[in-house]
Amino acid sequence: MKKIVLALGLFSAAVLGHAADPLNGTLWKTIDDETKQPKALVKFTEQKNGTLTATIQTILVASEANACTQCEGPYKNKSLKGVTIVQNLKNVGGTSYDNGTIMDPKNGKTYKLKGELAGNKLNLRGYIGISALGRNQTWIRAN
């Protein structure tokens, strides 16, 4: 009986140690900085190395569905649907995230990214060089 309890305890600890990130599989509404209106639905996926990516699932502003004219690589001149805009975001403890990058489809530029999960809001900061030189965005949980 002791061996069974010990085995179950070790198994439970192993499962908890490899639990998925709280952002994994969640869907978020991106909010335009200027208009404060929802622009797209973005889904986070945890990669094998433990980092997160976020891919545009749905475009909420019809006039921007094919707006990736400034994107580089395989997304250039394609629909924004399916574009991975967040890469390598890593949970650095609790609800804090850092070391990621975010691509702005409007200009095709990539910025460093960090963020904080606060209930149904994801507060993100994209920046160049140091965090003080950047801008904030708040995404709202859609699911």
Q: Is residue 85 part of a domain?
A: yes
The values of phi and psi at residue 58, to 5°, are -145, 140
- Candidates 114, 115, 111; CA nearest to 129 is 111
Q: Is residue 78 part of a domain?
A: yes
3: which DSSP letter?
Answer: H
How many structural domains comprise the chain? 1
For the chain, the average pLDDT equals 83
The fraction of the chain above a pLDDT of 70, given in percent, is 82
Q: Is residue 11 part of a domain?
A: no
Q: Is residue 13 part of a domain?
A: no
- Band (65; pLDDT cuts 50, 70, 90): low
Residue 17 has a pLDDT of 44
Q: Is residue 99 part of a domain?
A: yes
**Is the model's pLDDT at 8 over the cut of 50?**
no
Q: Is residue 15 part of a domain?
A: no
Q: What is the DSSP string of 50-109?
A: S-EEEEEEEESSGGGTT-GGG--GGGTTS-STT-EEEEEEEEEETTEEEEEEEEETTTTE
Which domain range does residue 121 map to? 21-141
Instruction: For residue 60, give every residue at least 6 positions away whose Cβ sits within 8 Å of its Cβ, in sequence order, or none.
Output: 29, 38, 39, 40, 41
d(CA 96, CA 90): 8
CA angle at 41 for the pair 46 and 88, rounded to the nearest 5°:
30
d(CA 36, CA 47): 30
Tell me which of 8-17, 41-50, 78-87, 112-121 is least confident: 8-17
Q: Is residue 7 part of a domain?
A: no
- Read off the pLDDT of residues 94-143 as tens digits, 9 standing for 90 and up: 999 999 999 987 777 899 999 999 999 999 999 998 888 889 999 999 97
Which CATH number do you get for residue 72?
2.40.128.520
Q: Is residue 29 part of a domain?
A: yes
